[in-house]
Amino acid sequence: MAQQPRKDVVIIGYGAAAGPISTELAKAGYSVVALERGEWRTTDDFSGRTFDTLRFAHRGELLPKQSEVALTFRSDLEDVARPTQYIMANMVGGASVHWSGQSWRYYEEDFHLRTTLEEMYGAERLAYLEEDGANIQDWPLTYEELEPYYDKMEYYIGVGGFPGNIQGEIRPVNPEEGNPFEAPRERDFPMRPLRDNATDITFREGALALGLNPFHVPTAINTEAYTNPDGLERPACSYCAFCTDYGCWNDSKASSLVALLPTALETGNMEVRPNSHVLRINHENGRAVSVDYLDLITGEQHTQPGDIFYMGAYTFQNVRTLLHSGITGGGQVGKYFMNRSGPSVSAYFDDRYLNGWAGPAVQRQGLDDYNGENNAEEKMQLSDEDFFVRGAFIGSPSQRHPLEAYNIVPPDVPRWGRAFKDYWLENFNRIISLQILQEPLPYETSYIDLDPNYVDQYGVPVARVQRQAKQNEIRMSRYMFQKATEILEAAGAARVWGNSTPRPTATMTHDTGGLRMGSDPSMSVTNKYGQMWEIPNILVGGGALLPTMSGHNPTETIWTLSYWTADAVLENKIDLEDAQAFT
């Protein structure tokens, strides 16, 4: 086994989470190495070759092979878990390269959900959650503490939007466009949001007709040529519409690869080792000392020693690598896993063309009137059988390509063959399918562990995911199905269809929890800075840290927490010998 020279910081997986911390520490003079199992593709790999739905969206060219990064899933704890597809990119930059770019801050209440719910609804109304084994905890930090880091993320990585709340003043810039429910921001976004297409305008009309508050969704896609505070310039989006599932050929969509890595490399302190699959973390006397990794090109095994280790390999691989290394966090590693499931709602309009194929997927209007506790008064009126907590963002996605959208036709239309093609040729441009991002809760029975039956091609047990939709998700899904239907009908839909029953899966790209942060070491894996209680020189990144989720996508918060953790290292807010001794 080859021994590599010692580094100050060893990054395990270079995706979204790893970007900010490696750049900030490299800028400060730390020697950083990122061990990344995927290839090092560049923008040139996407230019001219990216406009291929079959290759990228269907055959998943950027995804790992099933035998390399395997995952199993069961929704019934009595069942044997079965292999399932892993859908996050396998490359330097991770899924931030082929993501969509919806970029949200979380609400203030998202940081103290347990307290909020108890105060709003009382123990009696919430008893059904306890019956289902919900384990809701407040975060160990507040929105106010994180706000400067959200701001930093938005300016360094580049986010466009209309503000809804600057320093407590609601919708100060454009009364028609901001999200009135958003948490207070210190200053405006650095850019404006993407423009609308006919799908967005239709959705907006329906929402306004119902008295709701539609707004342009904030996105980490440049809407103008933008230079960040490090002097890194990237161009404006061309609205090419090969965005989600594809690498951006134009560097307009932010990723750790194009928005952060160039700055880190310029310091001379950052090294990226692609095709390097981390197998385990070696630790002695409560301290990580090195990682063993496999060079996927030569097949040779290496050991990389270091002082600080950062888990950046996404929720499943982070949990799996820790468990395989014998690091269990006193039984907390893998617990309280969350991802979303919810209703699907589509509609046909006989009086207009919708151009839903035009523009990136996140060129959209959306609303938060049913998200979080924004509609608490209405929910309080619901019967005990219908009552639920939390909610969902509802929006109107674009980038609907004919091949990707085969499964949104009405139930009486076949999904293949002549009848499907005839229907699609006639109606493709007249259908909307909404995005409904339901917030899940953490449960005792939703967790990740090592599968007792399956190993990957390197002989390591794969991550096994168990998750169910509980009463709260089922009730929320019924309600959201109804609300989304009302919006589309108010917009003038001739026909609305869909499914109101949530169908849990192992992964849906917002896979969170499993290594949650907290104040109490017996109920969490890390402290508020993502530092492991059990092994204080291991720092955790990514959505696995989140104690609770949100009805918003997680990546802006993941990038923000990475800045927050970097700052804790640089400002000596944490002691790398003792996770309980922070300032």
Ligand X SMILES: Cc1cc2nc3c(=O)[nH]c(=O)nc-3n(C[C@H](O)[C@H](O)[C@H](O)COP(=O)(O)OP(=O)(O)OC[C@H]3O[C@@H](n4cnc5c(N)ncnc54)[C@H](O)[C@@H]3O)c2cc1C
- Whether 79 contacts 468, CB under 8 Å: no
- Comparison of 170 and 240: residue with beta carbon closer to ligand SF4: 240
Q: Can you tell me the distance from the alpha carbon of 102 to that of 390, in angstroms, rounded to the nearest whole number?
A: 20
Nearer to ligand X among residue 429 and residue 547 (C-beta): 547
> Minimum CB separation from ligand X for residue 244, in Å?
5
Residue 209 binding target from ligand X, ligand SF4, none, CB below 5 to 8 Å by type:
none
Contacted by 443, from ligand SF4, ligand X, none: CB < 5 to 8 Å by type: none
Name the binder of 252 from ligand X, ligand SF4, none, CB < 5-8 A by kind: ligand SF4
Closest CA to 150 of 473, 573, 559: 559
Furthest C-alpha separation in the chain = 70
Going by the DSSP 8-state scheme, the letter that residue 328 receives in this structure is -
Task: Rule CB under 6 A: say whether 102 interacts with ligand X.
Answer: yes
Q: Answer yes or no: are the C-beta atoms of 567 and 583 closer than 8 Å.
A: no
Say which amino acid occupies 238: S
| Contact pattern from residue 210 through residue 249 relative to ligand X, giving x for each residue in contact according to CB under 6 A and a dash for the rest | ----------------------------------xx----
Regarding 38 and contact with ligand X (CB under 6 A), the answer is: yes
State which H helix or E strand residue 123 sits in: helix 113-125
Q: Which is nearer to ligand X, 120 or 289 (CB)?
A: 289
| Residue number, 26 or 221, with CB nearest to ligand SF4 | 221
339 binds ligand X (CB under 6 A): no
From the CB of 58, what's the least distance to ligand X, in Å? Answer: 13
Going by C-alpha positions, the residue among 11, 17, 121 that lies closest to residue 554 is 17
Q: In this chain, which stretch among 76-84, 340-348, 421-429, 551-559 interacts with ligand X, using CB under 6 A?
A: 551-559
Kindly state the tokens that stand for 10: 């060893």
What is the side-by-side order of every strand in the sheet holding 392-395? 215-216, 365-367, 392-395, 435-438
Phi-psi region of 492 (alpha: psi -120 to 50; beta: other; left: phi over 0): left
164 binds, among ligand X, ligand SF4, none (CB under 5 to 8 A by kind): none
Cβ closest to ligand X, residue 134 vs residue 313: 313
Cβ proximity to ligand X: between 72 and 509 the closer is 509
Per partner kind, with CB cut-offs from 5 to 8 A, the member of ligand SF4, ligand X, none near residue 548 is none
Please pick, from the candidates 4, 7, 9, 14, the single residue that binds ligand X as defined by CB under 6 A: 14
Nearer to ligand X, 196 or 556 (CB): 556
- Picking from 232, 208, 212, the residue whose alpha carbon sits closest to that of residue 222 is 232
Q: Of 153, 18, 151, 27, which is closest to residue 97 (Cα–Cα)?
A: 18
Shortest Cβ 401–ligand SF4 spacing (Å): 12
Residue pair 532/540 in contact by the 8 Å Cβ criterion: yes
In the complex, minimum distance from the CB of residue 83 to ligand SF4, in angstroms, rounded to a whole number: 31
Site residues (vs ligand SF4, CB under 6 A)? 221, 237-243, 246, 248, 250, 252-253, 360
- Please list every residue from 251 through 290 that binds ligand X, using CB under 6 A: 277-278
Burial label, 375 (beta-carbon count in 10 A; 0-12, 13-18, 19+): middle
Q: How many C-beta atoms lie closer than 10 Å to residue 132's C-beta?
A: 16
Q: How far is the CB of 558 from ligand SF4 (least distance, A)?
A: 19
Q: Say how many C-beta atoms besides its own lie within 10 A of residue 535's C-beta.
A: 20
Site map for ligand X, 340-379, x if CB under 6 A? Answer: ----------------------x-----------------
Shortest Å distance, C-beta 341 to ligand X: 16
Interior angle at CA 321, CA 315 and CA 325, nearest 5? 145
In whole angstroms, the minimum distance from the beta carbon of 447 to ligand X comes to: 18
Q: Which residue has the tokens 């918003």?
A: 552
**Minimum separation from the CB atom of position 120 to ligand X (A):** 27
Asked if 35 touches ligand X (CB under 6 A), the answer is: yes
N-term to C-term CA, the chain: 40
- Residue 101 as a binder of ligand X (CB under 6 A): the answer is yes
Query: Which structure tokens are listed for 528?
Result: 């508020």
Q: Which is nearer to ligand X, 476 or 561 (CB)?
A: 561
C-beta of 27 vs 98, nearer to ligand X: 98
Given ligand SF4, ligand X, none, residue 558, with its beta carbon under 5 to 8 Å by kind, binds ligand X
Question: From ligand SF4, ligand X, none, which one binds at residue 98 (CB under 5 to 8 Å depending on kind)?
Answer: ligand X
* Closer residue to ligand X in complex, CB, 54/384: 54
CA dihedral 420, 424, 427, 429 (to 10 degrees): 150
- Tell me whether residue 117 or residue 221 sits nearer to ligand X (CB atom): 221
For helices 555-570 and 18-27, angle between their N-to-C axes, nearest 10 degrees: 30
**Contact between 553 and ligand X (CB under 6 A)?**
yes
317 binds ligand X (CB under 6 A): yes
464-493 burial, b for 16+ CB within 10 Å, e for fewer? bbbbbbbebbbbbbebbbebbbbbbbbbeb
Minimum CB distance to ligand X smaller for 117 or for 525: 525
Among positions 286-315, residues that touch ligand X (CB under 6 A) are 312-314
Which of ligand SF4, ligand X, none has residue 221 at its interface (CB below 5 to 8 Å by kind)?
ligand SF4
Report whether 575 contacts 545 (CB < 8 A): no
The label of the residue with tokens 């967790």 reads 447
Residue 15 lies near ligand X (rule: CB under 6 A): yes
CA-to-CA distance for 554 and 248, rounded, in angstroms? 20
| Structure tokens that stand for 282 in this block | 């070696």
- Look up residue 517 and give its two tokens: 């942060």
Residues within the interface to ligand X (CB under 6 A): 12-18, 35-38, 87-88, 90-91, 94-96, 98-102, 244-245, 277-278, 312-314, 317, 321, 362, 509, 542-543, 553-555, 558
